[in-house]
Amino acid sequence: MALKTEEMTLNLGPQHPSTHGVLRLELKLDGEFIVDVIPHIGYLHRCFEKHAEAMTYPQIIPYTDRMDYLASMYNEFGYVVTVEKLLGLEVPERVEYIRVIMGELQRIASHLVALGTYGADIGAITPFLFCFRDREKILSLFEMTSGARLLYNYIWIGGVARDLPPDFLRLTKEFIVYFRPKIKELNDLLTFNKIFIERTANIGILPKDVAVNYGITGPMLRASGMKWDLRKDDTYSVYNKFDFDIPVGEGRMGTVGDCWDRYFVRILEMEQSLKIIEQAINQIPDGDVTSAIPKRVKPPVGQVYVRVENPRGELGYFIVSDGTLNPKRIKVRAPSFVNLAVISKLCNGHMIADVIAILGSIDIVLGEVDR
Amino acid sequence: MIFDFFTKLTGSEISASIISALLPLFLFVLPFALIAVLLERKVSAHIQDRLGPMRVGYHGILQTLADILKLIQKEDIIADSNDKPLFNIAPVLVFAGSYAVFAAIPFTSSYIGSNINLGLFYIIGISGIVVIGILMAGWASNNKYTLLGAMRSAAQLISYEIPTLMIVVTILMITGTLNLNELTEMQSGFFWNWMIFGGQATGIAKILLIPFMIVGFVVIYISTLAEVNRTPFDISEAESELVSGYHTEYSGMKFAIFFLAEYANMFAVSAIVVVLFFGGYLSPIGYLGNTLGLPWLIPVEQLLWFTFKGVAFVLVQMWLRWTLPRLRVDQLMAICWKYLIPIAFVNLLIVGLITLI
């Protein structure tokens, strides 16, 4: 008589060290092998979109901070660009440069968290603390500019809250000089570590066509070999004035689109962001940063969709205006939410440890998934 | 040895065995664990550009004491669904397994808990109890994470005992004794008489032995690393996957006992490596006691040398833990079965041929 066997259901989360927040994954296991993964979301749902309908346009900015709390600057950036398009507002050149500098610094900070926690997911704790040490420098730059370390409310409709502090450009230059060798250090410690490569190469392979079909964007899409970056392909702000490359996954350690590629694309993107910041610091013009801020934000009747390249992918805002002070409807296309959808496809046939590796390489922020 | 001494002193074998069993616990294992926990935190902190504990005492040297005080006060949580007897026995078994090893470890030439002829064999055997304790803990907690952790741990410990044993047999072929005291004495003289440098062999045999001894050392060090569940082999605790593996459900002093067992084990396996390859308690450069004509000083120096060598390997374990990522379960097994065991086996054969010279 054959022994009766059954699959084991394991709840991973919502409270678990490496689900990056309150995600719950329902794993169907055959021993340690994954049969199925079902993500359950909604533990951090705060009704952002409904809430926004009851507020005026400038009041919504602090709430956008709280969606992707690791990339608050970029959420504000995207929202503000959308409302300005609805208003038909031109902003001073200096404001655009400040926004780009802030946005790219935020991209580095966000990628540092992604890379550091990814190392911790694989079991290396030290890279995590190294990344946080470097991110701290960016956060203090943000703090001296906006007064806050995580939720800034700095980029406003038509301008920014206040001009850059006098030392900011010098300190940012110093940060760039400081940070370049640190990328190499991280590469030596983690990226090209044999065990790390064994754990991430050929794991969770996402082919290009599947990625496109699932609507995946950001570093995850680029790691699959698709050269698609909204900063170049659907440019906004002053990104067309800078010279930078779009790194794509090449499958250096395994197959194109595996976890290692997703990790390495983020490292390369940090270098490109440094390049953009350097150019922006050199080109930034003088000017008044608050002159274009409107007293009352009352857009005409209409609707608009604007997308920006958030550190995690395409962040889109769809705003319907009925000509009053409050938006009629706001819908956010959150990159983490869309990217997370593919997880059950990536995990099939892998082991529990690989689920953690794959989840880490998707780099979700639950505040944005649930909104 | 020490047992005979206490038998004479107290006149009863039972009280003598109790005393000689408790002696290393209070004189060595507990103080070592206290220092090692602090050391681990400080080493990790400095590797990671942090300061580590700084508040309790000068540079946080009393931090571990404060932690122990906290753990003693904590509630001992036993969930309703736990299998209570097994749940309570498991930490004791794990600790007993790793602590019993110390009975046969020669700390100095004049102190060894029990100078049995099968010392090495006893150590390998008794440390197997740890597996039972871990399996018990994982099963009794009635939690899927602990169960997975325990299964991983059992598979890992059993697999990695094979290369360890093969290297032990290699040493056995050269020395011909399992008695750890004799084994150490066979390496006496200066450091080139240590097993890693071919032991007491002379001439061409010694030169031939050295590379194979180094290979043997590397193999046994990797497998002992796996036996104490340290990174890169800490899959049974794998924080990012299994929360903290088989001891997820434990709190208070029971958790502390697991912790203590881990650190006791770290030193125990380092001590085995030191005895097998690095001359145990022997000084590499001669004794101050001999020069000064103070014979009582020699055992003290030997204890210091032994602790020093052991702690050096413990430090390497810590260094590795805070540098390397973690392997996956199947990769861990692959390293053991595809690399370590064949290497250890070939090593065994070649060393066997060399000893015929």
Q: List pLDDT tens digits, range A248-284.
A: 888 888 888 888 988 999 999 999 999 899 999 988 8
Instruction: Compare CB distances from B243 to A17, A121, A198 and report the shortest one's residue.
Output: A17
Lookup: tokens for A317: 């805002």
A18 chain-B contacts, CB cut-off 8 A: 239-241
Q: Work out the average pLDDT over B1-30.
A: 72
Interface membership of A32 toward B (CB under 8 Å):
yes
Rounded to a whole number of angstroms, the distance from the CA of A30 to the nearest CA of chain B is: 12
Q: pLDDT at residue B238 above 70?
A: no
Q: Which of A264, A185, A187 is nearest to A223 (CA)?
A: A264
Task: Quickly state the pLDDT bin for B3 (edges 50, 70, 90).
Answer: low
The residues pairing with A308 across neighbouring beta strands, listed in sequence order, are: A315
The residues spanned by each domain of chain B are: 2-355
Given a cut of 80, whether residue A66 has pLDDT beyond it is: yes
pLDDT value for B239: 66
Task: Determine the pLDDT at residue A22.
Answer: 85
The pLDDT confidence band at residue A341, using thresholds 50, 70 and 90, is confident
Identify all chain B residues contacting A352, using CB atoms and an 8 Å cutoff: 148, 241-242
**Which residue of B49, B145, B238 is in closest CB contact with A123?**
B238
Position A296 pLDDT exceeds 70: yes
Residues of B in contact with A130 (CB under 8 A): 48-49
Q: How many helices (H) and strands (E) does chain B have?
A: 16, 0
Q: What is the mean pLDDT of chain A?
A: 87
**Over residues B301-315, mean pLDDT:** 86
Q: What is the pLDDT of residues A84-104, one digit of tens each?
A: 888 888 888 888 899 899 999
Please tell me what DSSP assigns to residue B232: T
Give the model's pLDDT for residue B290. Answer: 72
Per-residue pLDDT, A318 = 92
Dig out the tokens for B86 from the structure. Answer: 């097994």
Please list, in sequence order, all residues whose beta carbon lies within 8 angstroms of the beta carbon of residue B308, skipping any fewer than 6 positions away. none
H-helix or E-strand containing B74?
none
Residue A14 preceded by cis peptide, ω within 30: yes
Q: Residue B113 pLDDT more than 70? A: no
Among the partner-chain residues B48, B234, B323, the one whose CB lies closest to the CB of A129 is B48
Interface contacts (A, B; CB < 8 Å): 80
d(CA B261, CA A341): 43
Give the separation between CA B256 and CA B131, rounded to whole angstroms.
18
Answer whether residue B329 shows pLDDT above 70: yes
Nearest residue to A40 (alpha-carbon basis) of A346, A294, A343, A310: A343
Nearest to B330 among A120, A124, A351 (CB): A351
Please judge whether B325 and A124 are an interchain contact, meaning their C-beta atoms are less than 8 angstroms apart. yes
Q: What is the mean pLDDT of residues B188-199?
A: 73
In whole angstroms, give the CA distance from residue A237 to residue A91.
Answer: 10
Give backbone dihedrals phi and psi of A43, rounded to 5 degrees, phi first: -75, -15
Residue of B nearest to A11 (CA): B144
pLDDT band at B240 (very low <50, low <70, confident <90, very high): low
CB–CB contact B48 A32 (8 Å): no
Mean pLDDT across chain B: 81
Statement: residue B286 has pLDDT above 80: no
Complex-level ipTM beyond the 0.95 threshold: no
The pLDDT > 90 percentage for chain B reads 1
For the ranges A303-312, A319-328, B84-93, B182-191, the lowest mean pLDDT is seen at B182-191
Which pLDDT score, from 0 to 100, does residue A139 have?
92
Q: Answer whether residue B115 shows pLDDT above 80.
A: no
Task: Give the pLDDT confidence score for residue A1 in this predicted structure.
Answer: 62
Instruction: Kindly give, in sequence order, each residue whose CB lies less than 8 Å from that of residue B116, ignoring residues fewer than 6 positions away.
Output: B104, B122, B179
Interface test with A, best of B153, B241, B323, B326 (most A CBs within 10 A): B241
pLDDT value at residue A108: 92
Higher pLDDT, B199 or B207: B207
Q: Quick one: average pLDDT of A327-341?
A: 89
